[in-house]
Each structure stands twice: as structure tokens, then as C-alpha cells.
Chain A
């Protein structure tokens, strides 16, 4: 579904991604872990061109999205993204946050979008917040709304950029719960996170990145029980 070929990204002299090759299949749940500054967020942000790669190719559903002629707005509709800092639109109500993009892009009528929004909100247990503004919500609630906002576009893949890193510890659970539910429903997911428990439980494959390279990839059982790379062993000994 997503195929990454020799992906490179540099900010000036600073090389952040040094040639990454990845195949992400439909239904996979890929979790990316690694120390800060390892390039994992940059990699994720390259997948929907929030960062424009400086080298290599990314193919999504048979189209080369790194080709300048490709209509990236169209492809982004099929890739949902959830951010560390939620990035809800503070001047719109929760319901408007969710329905704005699909209605504006004429994917559905306001009525259909409203119905879908209420249905999705009910699923994450926030139906009564439909007419609230983001400022009135807790961090965990905001992030669940942000997930719903991305889901309302009916994406084929969901990208999560450290979705729980900005949350109070007691709110992490409710967000991970929603993500697990999503995973169980078969959504293709790419998740950058520091939640090793989530990686172990939900991932079909775990990647370890450091200094712009994928140093190890394995199913979670193998990844956590028998890490081969020395850098990964060191990393796991610190975080587990």
C-alpha cells in the first residue's frame, strides 16, 4: 500500500533520513520507536509530504507521490494524520472540526457528515461534546476528537505522530484504547510512539530507528525479547 524507496531528507547540511526502504501492506500496524532526533517523526511526516523528501520515492496506492505532478491534496484525503499536539481548530466546534474537510471537499453533504461525526463521536464516547469548543476539552478528549476528525475522511491509512506524548499520564489510556479499537477493525496504521506496551500489544511489526536509519525491524515478540542490534538493546534497557 505504501512503498518507500531510498527515502532521504536533509535540512540544509543536517541529514535526517539516510535512505529508508519500507513496504507497508494493507492492514499492517507498523510501530516506529527510537530515541529523540532519530528521524522517526520526519519519516512519518514524509509519508504525506508534510515534509518534502530530498531524495528517493514514496508510492501510495500505485502513485508516486514524490512526483511534482501528483495531486497531493487528493492523496492526503486517503491518509489520516494525528499529531502530538492535536491541532484541533480552536475556532470551530467539535462537530465542525470533524465535518469541515469532508463537506468542503464535497465528499459528503453537511447532513451526511454530521451523521457520520455523531456516529464516530459516539464510538469514542464523546457524543455529548459535539457542540463544545476544543478549549473546553481535556487533552485526552482533544486527541480522541483529532482521531475522529481524521477518520471522518474515511482514510485508507492512519498516521500517528506521537499521539500520547503531550498527554497527562492518566489520559494516555483512553487514547490508546481508541487506537487499539481502530487496529482491531483492520485499519492500516503507522504509529510513532514511546508507548512500548502499545507496540507490543498492537503492532504487527516494530521498527527501530536511529540517526536516520532503520536499524532493526521485527514482529513485536521477537523485537522486545531478542533484540539483535546493540543500539536497540541499549535503547530497550533504558526504556523498559
Chain B
């Protein structure tokens, strides 16, 4: 019993006194903001890049063909650069060199993490599009549907179902990777616990607390994705 009291006392001294838990709380807010906005930006960019890379549009028109060829090249460069350099570096570059007129660090982080995540999401979604049998597109087209309609009504729903676990993986990784936001002075969950550490000289309690919060977030996100996946798998029941 004394062991438990010791832990509680330590927790109380470190986290509750002076309302230091608020550091974690405010940090959580920023972590969530960055994660959610970055997921939205990343999914948008990723879907667009995936559609270009998977040759979803193959116009007969020569001018359009040329334009999509250019998009394709831009997409390749984007994927190479973003996946080939460290996230922290991209974040610092954005904050200190590129988006210098945006003073709000969280906004910069949302953009930087969104752009970074987009590259990974693009490859995941492209895999999904390629995983759907070619016959599905042919069946849609043979009924007189346009390429775009077939893509959105027939191919995408099946592709999404196939890649949802991989997409979940990416979102979980993104959530945890936002912990480097402290490098540009953002008060996120990790930074919050670090602030408590430097004030109290107790490393264990604040770091474990932040870790538990991350864990809860990931478990929540996982179950949310699981729910969604079960809904999409309805048609697999035999």
C-alpha cells in the first residue's frame, strides 16, 4: 500500500501542484489540432496525387494528356523529396525559411505535417486503386458510365476498403510524429510534459503521463477505424 501512496504522492507533487497538468492539457489541444488538420490536408493531397499517379484520368485530348504528364512529374518529385527527407527538417524549413510570414507555429505545423502525410497517403491510396480488378472499370465503362463516375462510384469504395488498415497505420504514425512540433516552439503534448520535467526535476511522471495520453488517443483512433472498416466489410459476408 505504501508503494501506491508513494506513486500518488509523486504524481500529486509533479502534476497537480500549481495545476501543472494543464501543461499536458494545453499540449493535447495542439497535438489534436495539428493531427486532425494534417490528416485532412494529407488525405486531400494524397488522393489527388494518387489519382494522377495511378493514371485515373487518361484523356484522349493531346493538350490534357500533356498537362497530366506534367502533373505526374510534379507528383513524382513531391513523393521523392517528402519521403526522402526527415520530418523535423521539413518542419523547421517551413517555419524558419519558407512560411516566415506565418507567425503561428501551429498553423505552420498543420501545413508541414499535412504535406508530409500526403506523400504517404498518396502511395497508400494508389495501392488501393491498383488493387481493384481491371474488370471493374471495364464493367462500369461497358454500362456507359464515364471514367470519372466509374472511378468514384465503383473503384474508390473498393480501394478504400482494401487500404483502410494501411491508412490507419499512417494516421497513427502521424499522430505520434507530431511530437517533434516542440522543435519549432509549439506547446504540444510532448513539449507539455517536458516543461513539467524541467520545472519539477521529475522525469518519470510527466513523460509517462504524456505517453498514456498518446496511448489512449491511438486506441481511440484504432477503434474508430475498426468501426468504419466493419461497415465497409458488410458486403463480404457470405
Q: Which residues from 68 to 114 on chain A have a C-beta closer than 8 Å to any C-beta of chain B?
A: 68, 73-77, 79-81, 83, 85, 87-93, 100-101, 104-105
Residues in chain A near residue B139, CB distance under 8 A: 81, 83, 87-89
Per-position binary interface string of chain B over residues 139-171, scored 1 when its CB falls under 8 Å from any chain A CB and 0 otherwise: 111111110010001100110010000000000
Assess whether A87 is in contact with B237, with CB atoms less than 8 Å apart: no
Listed A/B pairs (5) with beta-carbon separation below 8 Å: A85-B133, A91-B158, A91-B235, A101-B144, A135-B235
Report if A136-B237 is in contact (Cβ < 8 Å); known contacts: A73-B146, A101-B143, A104-B145. Answer: yes
| Docked CA distance A77–B144 (Å) | 5
* Chain B: CB-nearest residue to A88: B139
Contact of A104 among B141, B149, B235, B236 (CB under 8 A): B149
Min distance, Cβ B232 to any Cβ of chain A, angstroms: 8
Nearest 9 pairs of A and B residues by beta carbon: A77-B144, A87-B139, A101-B143, A81-B142, A87-B135, A133-B235, A76-B144, A91-B235, A91-B157
Assess whether A85 is in contact with B238, with CB atoms less than 8 Å apart: no
Per-position binary interface string of chain B over residues 210-238, scored 1 when its CB falls under 8 Å from any chain A CB and 0 otherwise: 00000000000000000000001011111
| Docked CA distance A74–B140 (Å) | 13
| Docked CA distance A133–B130 (Å) | 22
Assess whether B145 is in contact with A73, with CB atoms less than 8 Å apart: yes
Assess whether B238 is in contact with A136, with CB atoms less than 8 Å apart: yes
| Docked CA distance A68–B158 (Å) | 31
| Docked CA distance A162–B237 (Å) | 28
| Docked CA distance A73–B143 (Å) | 8
- Using CB atoms and an 8 Å cutoff, list the residues of chain B in contact with chain A: 60, 133, 135-136, 138-146, 149, 153-154, 157-158, 161, 232, 234-238
Q: Which of B139, B143, B236 has the most CB of A within 10 A?
A: B143
| Docked CA distance A101–B142 (Å) | 10
Report if A135-B146 is in contact (Cβ < 8 Å); known contacts: A89-B154, A104-B153. Answer: no
Residues in chain B near residue A79, CB distance under 8 A: 142
Q: Answer whether residue A122 sits at the interface, using C-beta atoms and an 8 A cutoff.
A: no
Report if A135-B236 is in contact (Cβ < 8 Å); known contacts: A83-B139, A87-B139. Answer: yes
Report if A90-B237 is in contact (Cβ < 8 Å); known contacts: A73-B145, A81-B142, A85-B135. Answer: no
Assess whether A87 is in contact with B138, with CB atoms less than 8 Å apart: yes
Report if A105-B138 is in contact (Cβ < 8 Å); known contacts: A87-B133, A135-B237, A136-B237. Answer: no
Report if A135-B135 is in contact (Cβ < 8 Å); known contacts: A91-B157, A91-B158. Answer: no
Min distance, Cβ B146 to any Cβ of chain A, angstroms: 6
Residues in chain A near residue B60, CB distance under 8 A: 68
Apart from A76-B143, A77-B143, 8 more pairs, CB < 8 Å = A77-B144, A81-B138, A87-B139, A89-B140, A89-B154, A100-B153, A136-B238, A150-B143
Q: Answer whether residue A144 sits at the interface, using C-beta atoms and an 8 A cutoff.
A: no
Q: Answer whether residue A153 sits at the interface, using C-beta atoms and an 8 A cutoff.
A: yes
* Chain B: CB-nearest residue to A133: B235
